[in-house]
């Protein structure tokens, strides 16, 4: 018996599979909602678990992203160059951000920095992007 067949036998297993899938980068809600519904869970529970699971990694990403980037930059010259380029672009655009202080919450939603959907901007949320 495979792992997923085993998980499908238990209600808690279905809940955990939906919740944990929502935490995975790239998959997130795109996979956890169809997974939870296909496992036979109520759509309201699936929505709640998916959104909650997607939100759990966000505080850790915000707190740890600079430490992780520093750690990786010390071990890889390519990553150090990537980090310098990324931080350089952020510095170049800082004046623009300060000018738009009243719109900061909307601006943050349009800039992808983390690779996680809880922090990503989506193309449809950024009409100024092509």
Average pLDDT for the chain: 80
Which pLDDT band, with edges at 50, 70 and 90, does 129 fall under? very low
| Gap between the Cα atoms of 53 and 30, Å rounded | 12
Q: What is the pLDDT of residue 77?
A: 94
Phi, psi (5° rounding) for residue 25? -60, 150
**Residue, of 13 and 97, whose pLDDT is higher:** 13
The predicted-structure confidence for 24-36, as pLDDT tens digits, reads as follows 888 888 999 999 9
Same-domain pairing of 33 and 71:
no
Count: domains in the chain: 2
* Residue 86 domain-assigned (yes or no): yes
74 and 99 co-located in one domain: yes
Q: What's the confidence (pLDDT) of residue 106? A: 59
Do residues 46 and 7 share a domain?
Answer: yes
Give the separation between CA 93 and CA 55, rounded to whole angstroms: 27
Residue 130 lies in a domain: no
Same domain, 14 and 36: yes
The phi and psi torsions of 116 (rounded to 5 degrees) equal -115, 135
What residue numbers bound the domain in which 99 lies? Answer: 64-125
Classify residue 102: in a domain, yes or no: yes
44-71 mean pLDDT: 91
As a whole number, mean pLDDT of residues 33-47 equals: 94
Q: What is the three-state SS of the chain?
A: CCHHHHHHCCHHHHHHHHHHHHHCCCCHHHHHHHHHHHCCCCHHHHHHHHHHHHHCHHHHHHHHHHHHHHHHHHHCHHHHHHHHHHHHHHHHHHHHHHHCHHHHHHHHHHCCCCCCCCCCCCHHHCCCCC
Convert the pLDDT of each residue in 79-108 to its tens digit: 999 999 988 888 888 777 777 766 656 555
pTM over 0.85, yes/no: no
Domain shared by 89 and 45, yes or no: no
């Amino acid at each position: 018996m495979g792992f997923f067949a085993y998980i499908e036998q238990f209600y808690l297993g279905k809940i955990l599979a939906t919740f944990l899938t929502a935490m995975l980068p790239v998959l997130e809600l795109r996979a956890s909602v169809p997974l939870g519904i296909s496992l036979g869970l109520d759509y309201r529970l699936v929505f709640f678990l998916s959104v909650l699971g997607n939100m759990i990694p966000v505080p850790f990403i915000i707190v740890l992203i600079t430490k992780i980037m520093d750690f990786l930059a010390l071990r890889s010259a390519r990553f150090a160059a990537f980090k310098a380029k990324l931080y350089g672009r952020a510095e170049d655009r800082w004046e623009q951000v300060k000018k738009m202080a009243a719109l900061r919450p909307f601006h943050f939603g349009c800039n992808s920095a983390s690779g996680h959907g809880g922090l990503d901007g989506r193309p449809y949320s950024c009409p100024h992007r092509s």
